[in-house]
Each structure stands twice: as structure tokens, then as C-alpha cells.
Homo-oligomer: A and B are copies of this chain.
Amino acid sequence: MGTKERRERERGELRARILDAARELFAELGYEAVTMRKIAERIEYSPTAIYIHFKDKRAVIQELCDHDFLILAKKLQRISRLEEPLERLRAAGLAYVDFALEHPNHYRLMFMQGHPVEESESEIRKGNPEEDAYAFLHGTILQAIAAGCFRAEVADADLVAQALWAAVHGVASLHIALGTDDWVTWKPAKKTAKFLIDAMLSGLSQPKAVKE
């Protein structure tokens, strides 16, 4: 037989070519610059052909990002082998910023613009630390708390996780959005991130000295 398989393969191939064309446009020019018509031109099909393989434009780019974001998950996974919990958090934070700056348009779409994404459309399983970066972060902080790395008052893992996430997200997104403005004379993002993470972790592990 094999004809069914051939069809399936061809179907998959066009799908892949759509994603490749979209990825090229998206990675260097961002979401707005990806148009169905431009994708179509590149793959030498009509614009409507894309709708046979994807629900809409959003679905195309969503699939792109889901795929590429597994790179971040893998990076974090490698970091999770580090011994010292605080060292893990430091390294994870820096890896996060690295990823954001390497894939600014991916990052923009996922974390910097409101999410008109239907909840169920993403393939990444929530709560699974191998795929969900927040779950990874939360887990690592739980370990740090258990290991006594922080001051006694610091007990809310969600609060710490969101603060640390906000810190690295702040550095990354500020540089992505405004990094080319000369309104501000920017320090290198990585340096700022390191500085901020160190200050924060240091503040969390020490008795407070700021006057109340």
C-alpha cells in the first residue's frame, strides 16, 4: 500500500514548510510582519492553503513558539543538576535572560503581549517541570526553602518565584522593548540581570538591615 503514508508524509511536509517560512519571518521581524500572504508566497501556495493545515495565523505562530520554547525547558533541565539550590536559581535566572535575548520575538509573543491564546491550544503541559518553566522555578524554590537557604520569614514559594521571575523578566523585556533607545545608556542586560539576581538572593538569605 503506502499511498496513505505518502499522503500523510506530504501533508506533514507542507505543514513543516509553512512553519519554516513563518519561522524565518517571525524570528527576524516579529508577529506583525508575518502575514499569511507572505508565508504563502514563500512556499508557493495560495494564502488559503495554510488554513487547511492551521486554524488561523495565531495557531501557526503558537506552534512555532511551543516548539522553540522546549529549548528553554531543556536548558533549565540541565541546570537542575546543579547541587546548591541558590546556585540553581542564579543559573536558571541567567539562562532565562539569555534565552529571551536570543529569541526576542518569541519572548515578546509569549510574555510581553496580552494572551489572546485559547487556553487549550498550547501543547505545553502545565505543571510538568520538564515543560513548564514556572513549575520548575517553583519547585526549585521549594527545595531552597527546605534546605534553609532563606530567612525564616521567607516561606511563600509562590511569592519568591514570582518576584524572581519578575526580576529576570524585567531585565529581559526592558532590553527587548527599549534596548535600542539611547534615551538611557544601557548596561549590558546580562550584567544587570546578574547584579539584580545577586542582590535579591542576598537580601532573601540575610537578616534584614533596612530600617523599618
In-complex Cβ contact of A134 among B184, B202, B205 (8 A): B184
Residue of B nearest to A191 (CB): B159
A170 and B177 in contact, given A198-B208, A203-B199, A203-B206 (Cβ under 8 angstroms): no
What separation, in Å, do the CA atoms of A183 and B117 have in the docked complex?
Answer: 12
Q: Collect the chain B residues with CB atoms within 8 Å of residue A163's CB.
A: 171, 192, 195-196, 199
Kindly list chain B residues whose C-beta atoms are within 8 Å of the C-beta of A192.
159, 162-163, 166
Chain B residues near A198 (CB-CB < 8 A): 203, 208, 210
Across the interface, A203 reaches (CB within 8 A) one of B111, B159, B202, namely B202
Q: What residues of B have a CB within 8 angstroms of the CB of A167 in the complex?
A: 166-167, 170, 196, 200
User: Once bound together, how far apart are the Cα atoms of A115 and B201, in whole Å?
Assistant: 32
Q: Shortest beta-carbon distance, A103 to chain B, in Å?
A: 15
Q: From residue 165 to 212 of chain A, which have CB atoms closer than 8 A to chain B?
A: 165-171, 173-174, 176-178, 180-181, 183-187, 191-193, 195-196, 198-206, 208-211
